[in-house]
Amino acid sequence: MAEMLAGKRILVTGAARGLGRSIAESAAREGARLVITDILDEELQRTAAELTEQGVPVEAYRVDQGDPESITEGFSRIAEGGALDGLVNNAAIATNVGGKTMMEYDLDLWDKVMTVNVRGVWLTTQAAVPLLAQSGNGRVVNVASDTALWGAPRLMAYVASKGAVISMTRSMARELGEQSITANAIAPGLTHCEATEYVPEERYRTYRDGRALKREQQPDDIDGTVLYLLSDWARFVTGQLIPINGGFVSR
């Protein structure tokens, strides 16, 4: 059986670790040529080296999604490699953004989360569109969160940012369809990875007890859906949101 993403050049942001790394590794196993970015340069280069050792074609660039100049510089280098077939907007601030009520949030943290998780997704997609259009059938997959579907408490800035990603995806789909580019979003549940190590056990228990599939979610639980949305199998799927949370909450 042919590899799902054979020969496709796929960009995954926030790919140094966690969900992004898992998605990138799975895409590579399906034949993708990888472009990976992250602000964590040391971890990014280590991930790239490990993938290279496995024979995976990979380009790695340090990009700070909160900095427009960094995005512009990163894409000037990415463009040298030619067209993109897919973009996975995974990079986001998720660590140490919870625990405070809406009355306790400070303005700096709120603005930082919105800058990276919302503006950064917009600017990254904006920069990628010309390269996606070159491929003739580009794919955008935005990583949102099911917290925006059930309104997780003590996490308002993150919840609001991921709600914005869902809404932006629908608007992107309408605008980018004229260039044969699809745009969809996934909404993972609480996933065990480096970015969620700070989450209290009580929140993990809430998820486990509330899921139809009563176990903890792992990064690779998400990969299959992302690969599908990047593939030719999803060529007529756009503007959609797919929750991936073991049945904890639907849209």
Q: Residue 89 and residue 47: Cα distance in Å, rounded? A: 18
Q: Could you give the angle at which helices 156-176 and 107-114 cross, rounded to 10 degrees?
A: 30
Integer Cα distance of 251 and 111 in angstroms:
27
207 part of the active site = no
Residue type, 60: A
CB atoms within 10 A of CB 106: 10
DSSP string, 94-146: -TT--S--TTT--HHHHHHHHIIIIIHHHHHHHHHHHHHHHHSS-EEEEE--T
Beta strands in 39-162 (DSSP E): 58-62, 86-89, 139-143
Cα distances (angstroms) measured from residue 155 to each of 17, 27, 75, 111, 188: 22, 31, 31, 14, 15
Q: Which amino acid is at 70?
A: S
> 141 has which bridge partners?
88, 184
Residue 110, classed as helix, strand or coil, is helix
Active-site residue (options: 61, 105, 158, 204): 158
- Catalytic center residues: 158
